[in-house]
């Protein structure tokens, strides 16, 4: 029958950091579809496990085993496939199969269904009107994505919310990236600058220096293009938190902050630099501190959960009850199946929480994330702007814009 799964298998490939990851292939009579899983470096405690004990090889063995359970199912029935994946694993955290194998299988099935129907992946997973997301791009990087004496916060980002076309938005982010390099090299002519895991500039800066350089570059590009360019931060604060001492440790800046000092500090940065987007300002268990910040900046700055919510519906429910976030990161491999991703995004959207489809620091050239963002109506996609593995998603969105004539999503906090 059309769309019936004949077999599923997997292969060990390398990600953008050169680390092993998994690619899964799904075969029907007429099509073969494959999907690759990325990997994080700042991994949340509540994410599913990327690989089981035994790593990628053990995961591949498991995919060979799940093949007989998926054989005979139809690629159209994503829910059924995803529940078989859950049942087969039997653990909450995908400890047996590994979340990376689970998500790669789930997405490969969706890709096969799209191929069978001769439609694009975003059209297959969508219900309703398709819109293009605004690219939120990492321009200056620190934390665990950057080697050496790196900036204490992980990411300094921009999002060109004034762009009317995705292509213009992507170009704006590229221009900010280039302008930051120009400013840095003119300020420090004797340094050599390099790019980190996500293609962001690695630079010997303090947090405020990074924000200063980023703001200046964003303003310059804003003036040149006439497009509003907002700035954002991912503090990845779980990486700074020391549970025993109940403090955030800023290794580079040589200081420690209690939770209330962290709140004051984040608030002061939002005010001073007009920050539009703030991800993981507190540790992954602190729904309360998130809520205090969210209340203070509501309507002007997105307070985004990543390690806090881990694309998990139950954790999002807790965040909603407490008013902790106005936005959440959507990383498919944090949760393991496309059905889980959809449920989390639907819950977010129906509560006016902005879902931000997101890459991982270790990526592949798979462009499915672009389709997931479009198909599931995420108004923002967090994706770097340099490196082929990031460009694979950017260019896919440019293609979707050109070929399908899609329009941009509505920017958060706007009535347009
Ligand atoms: C993050 C991500 C992506 P990682 O913290 O948001 O930028 O990093 O994939 O290492 O978790
Ligand atoms: Mg993050």
pLDDT of residue 49: 97
**Which residue's alpha carbon is nearest to atom 3 within ligand 1?**
360
The tokens for 269 are 């940065």
401 included as an active-site residue = no
Please answer whether residues 62 and 22 qualify as being in contact, where contact means their C-beta atoms are separated by less than 8 angstroms.
Answer: no
pLDDT of residue 193: 93
Q: Measured in angstroms, how far is the CA atom of residue 329 from the centroid of ligand 1?
A: 10
Q: Measured in angstroms, how far is the CA atom of residue 362 from the centroid of ligand 1?
A: 8
Given the CA of residue 41, which atom of ligand 1 is nearest to it? 10
Ligand nearest the Cα of residue 42 is 1
Sign of CA dihedral 331, 334, 340, 344: negative
The Cα–Cα gap between 345 and 351 comes to: 10
**Which residue's alpha carbon is nearest to atom 4 within ligand 1?**
40
Pocket perturbation via mutation, ligand 1, pick of 358, 362, 382 by most ligand atoms within 8 A of CB: 358
pLDDT of residue 229: 98
Pocket perturbation via mutation, ligand 1, pick of 234, 239, 332, 386 by most ligand atoms within 8 A of CB: 234
3-class secondary-structure state, position 246: coil
The tokens for 59 are 């995961």
The Cα–Cα gap between 158 and 145 comes to: 17
Does the beta carbon of 361 sit less than 6 angstroms from any atom of ligand 1?
A: yes
Given the CA of residue 358, which atom of ligand 1 is nearest to it? 3
Helices and strands (DSSP H and E) totals, the chain: 13, 18
- Beta bridge mates, 248: 241, 257
Residue with tokens 């770097």: 384
Secondary element (H or E) of residue 369:
helix 368-375
Does the beta carbon of 41 sit less than 6 angstroms from any atom of ligand 1?
A: yes
198 included as an active-site residue = yes
Q: Is 55 buried (19+), middle (13-18) or exposed (0-12) by CB count in 10 A?
A: middle
Q: Measured in angstroms, how far is the CA atom of residue 234 from the centroid of ligand 2?
A: 6
The tokens for 125 are 């997973």
pLDDT of residue 257: 98
Active-site choice (23, 116, 179, 198): 198
Residues with Cβ within 5 Å of ion ligand 2?
A: 234, 306
Secondary element (H or E) of residue 271:
helix 259-273
Does the beta carbon of 234 sit less than 6 angstroms from any atom of ligand 1?
A: yes
Given the CA of residue 197, which atom of ligand 1 is nearest to it? 10
Closest by CA to 372, choosing from 311, 407, 317, 330, is 330
Sheet holding 255-257, edge to edge: 241-242, 247-250, 255-257
Alpha helices, DSSP H, located in 138-165: none
pLDDT of residue 127: 81
3-class secondary-structure state, position 20: strand
Does the beta carbon of 137 sit less than 6 angstroms from any atom of ligand 1?
A: no
Q: Measured in angstroms, how far is the CA atom of residue 58 from the centroid of ligand 2?
A: 28
Pocket perturbation via mutation, ligand 1, pick of 15, 16, 40 by most ligand atoms within 8 A of CB: 40
Please answer whether residues 132 and 407 qualify as being in contact, where contact means their C-beta atoms are separated by less than 8 angstroms.
Answer: yes
Low-confidence ranges of the chain (pLDDT < 70): 415-416
E strands, 121-262, in order? 131-132, 134-141, 155-159, 194-195, 201-202, 230-234, 241-242, 247-250, 255-257
Active-site choice (96, 111, 257, 331): 331
Please answer whether residues 1 and 73 qualify as being in contact, where contact means their C-beta atoms are separated by less than 8 angstroms.
Answer: no
The tokens for 274 are 């007009």
3-class secondary-structure state, position 180: helix
């Amino acid at each position: 029958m059309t769309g019936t799964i004949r077999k599923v298998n997997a292969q060990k490939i390398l990600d953008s950091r050169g680390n092993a990851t998994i690619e899964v292939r799904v075969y029907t009579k007429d099509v073969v579809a494959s999907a690759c899983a990325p990997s994080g470096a700042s991994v949340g405690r509540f994410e599913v496990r990327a690989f089981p004990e035994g790593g990628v090889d053990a995961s591949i063995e498991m995919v060979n085993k799940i093949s007989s359970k998926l054989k005979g199912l139809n690629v159209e029935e994503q829910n059924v496939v995803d529940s078989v994946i859950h049942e087969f694993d039997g653990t909450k955290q995908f400890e047996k199969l590994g979340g990376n194998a689970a998500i790669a299988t789930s997405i490969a099935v969706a890709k096969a269904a799209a191929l069978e129907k001769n439609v694009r992946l975003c059209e297959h997973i969508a219900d309703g009107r398709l819109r293009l997301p605004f690219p939120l791009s990492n321009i200056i990087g620190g934390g665990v994505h950057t080697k050496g004496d790196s900036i204490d916060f992980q990411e300094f980002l921009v999002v060109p919310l004034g762009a009317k076309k995705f292509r213009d938005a992507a170009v704006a982010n590229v221009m900010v990236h280039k302008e930051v390099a120009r400013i840095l090299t003119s300020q420090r002519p004797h340094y050599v600058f390099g790019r980190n895991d996500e293609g962001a500039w690695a630079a010997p800066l303090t947090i405020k220096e990074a924000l200063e350089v980023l703001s200046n570059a964003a303003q310059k590009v804003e003036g040149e293009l006439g497009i509003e360019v907002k700035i954002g931060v991912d503090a990845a604060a779980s990486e700074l938190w020391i549970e025993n001492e109940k403090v955030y440790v800023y290794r580079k800046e040589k200081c420690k902050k209690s939770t209330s000092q962290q709140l004051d500090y984040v608030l002061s940065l939002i005010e001073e630099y007009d920050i539009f987007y703030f991800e993981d300002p507190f540790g992954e268990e602190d729904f309360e501190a998130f809520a205090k910040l969210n209340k203070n900046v509501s309507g002007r700055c997105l307070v985004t959960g990543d390690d806090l919510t881990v694309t998990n519906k139950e954790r999002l429910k807790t965040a909603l009850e407490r008013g902790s976030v106005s936005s959440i990161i959507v990383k498919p491999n944090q949760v393991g199946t496309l059905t889980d991703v959809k449920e989390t995004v639907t819950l977010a959207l129906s509560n006016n929480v902005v879902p931000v489809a997101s890459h991982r620091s270790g990526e592949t050239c798979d462009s499915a994330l672009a389709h997931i963002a479009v198909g599931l109506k995420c108004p923002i996609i967090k994706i770097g702007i340099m490196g082929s593995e990031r460009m694979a998603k950017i260019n896919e969105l440019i293609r979707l814009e050109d070929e399908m004539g899609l329009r941009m999503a509505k920017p958060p906090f706007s009535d347009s």
